[in-house]
Amino acid sequence: MSNTPPLLEVQNLRVEFPTRRGTLVALDDVSFAISPGEVLGVVGESGAGKSMTGAAIIGLLEPPGRIARGKILLNGKRIDNLRYEEMRRIRGREIGAIFQDPLTTLNPLYTVGKQLAETMTTHLPIGPAEAKKRAIEWLELVGIPAAAQRIDSYPHEFSGGMRQRVVIALALCAEPKLIVADEPTTALDVSIQAQVIALLKTLAREKGTAMMLVTHDMGVIAETADRVAVMYAGRIAEIGPVREVVKHARHPYSAGLMASIPPLDRRVERLAQIDGAMPRLSAIPRGCAYNPRCPQVFAKCREDRPDLIDAGTTRAACWLYATEAARG
């Protein structure tokens, strides 16, 4: 996979929100790439910048948010500077989006079958009859029972979990090259979660689809992702192969996240926890943003912000892995 040119490249992305009290930086110098057929998991606490990164990629930043610096390339073509209509054509055909709240995606005035069929006839060279047939197949794939009968139902006639399955079918049905999935399985019960995860993995492997999977659930990441990016306060704290980050996290924040996951092979009295809270955008500390909560903090951490540094099999934004000279 590493020899394949990346399908998505995010280079030095900075997202700002101008306010009356000054400019808030929501994403600061975020860079990563995803190859065809690869799943990149993105994890972190609420407010880390996970969903913001996805919104920037698909061109749906909420005003007054703006990309202030950096580039986003899809198949080598820059997409962050496209006009709205150009970006709208790319969404659906080349980029599929799965949001946590299905009501933001589904049109309440149209049946789910009509919405699926319209998406396919707009982006694929097929007619209405074939689109309806495929719509039923997609609904079956995501676990909608009696799909042939439910295809003419409206979104309000489905439960929340069922609507989320329809949203997943809607994102996948035009067979996009890239999928940005923001908490795609949160509203689903465990058995359907497993079914959807298997579907996403199959799509990545068989169709060569690249996927950015945003979630707080490390179980979903461990089961689905090839690599994982751990985000903190609008930056990537660590990025690397999922097995390495889960078992041998290098950044103290990543290590704290992994230590808070209950082990399956033994009983523990208390889970580890990370003291403190994610800083507000208006109060990000000087130096490494994690330094007030870090058990391994030293003087340089409070003064200078580290970039990603090679840390064995992963890369971590942590002065622990700098040379003695760089540490000062």
pLDDT at 76: 95
Among 231, 228, 191, 198, which Cα is nearest to 213's? 228
- Residue 263, judged by CB atoms within 10 A of its CB (0-12, 13-18, 19+), counts as exposed
Residues in the chain, overall count: 328
Single-letter amino acid, residue 132: K
Rg (CA), the chain: 21
Q: What is the 3-state secondary structure (H, E, C) of 97-164?
A: EECCCHHHCCCCCCCHHHHHHHHHHHHCCCCHHHHHHHHHHHHHHCCCCCHHHHCCCCHHHCCHHHHH
Are 75 and 95 within 8 A, CB to CB? no
Please name which of 23, 50, 14 lies closest in space to residue 228, comparing C-alpha atoms: 50
3-state secondary structure 155-220: HHHCCHHHHHHHHHHHHHCCCCCEEEEECCCCCCCHHHHHHHHHHHHHHHHHHCCEEEEECCCHHH
- Check: CB of residue 35 under 8 Å from CB of residue 213: no
pLDDT at residue number 99: 85
Give the pairing of strands 309-311 and 314-316.
Answer: antiparallel
pTM to 2 decimal places: 0.92
Regarding beta strands 39-43 and 178-182, do their DSSP bridges make them parallel or antiparallel, or are they unpaired? unpaired
27 half-sphere exposure, CB direction, 13 A CA radius? 29
Amino acid letter for position 19: T
Q: How many whole angstroms separate alpha carbon 328 and alpha carbon 312?
A: 21
Q: Sort strands 210-214 and 178-182 into parallel, antiparallel or unpaired.
A: parallel
* CB contact at 8 A, 9 and 35: no
Q: Which residues of the chain have pLDDT under 50?
A: 1
Q: What pLDDT is recorded for position 1?
A: 46
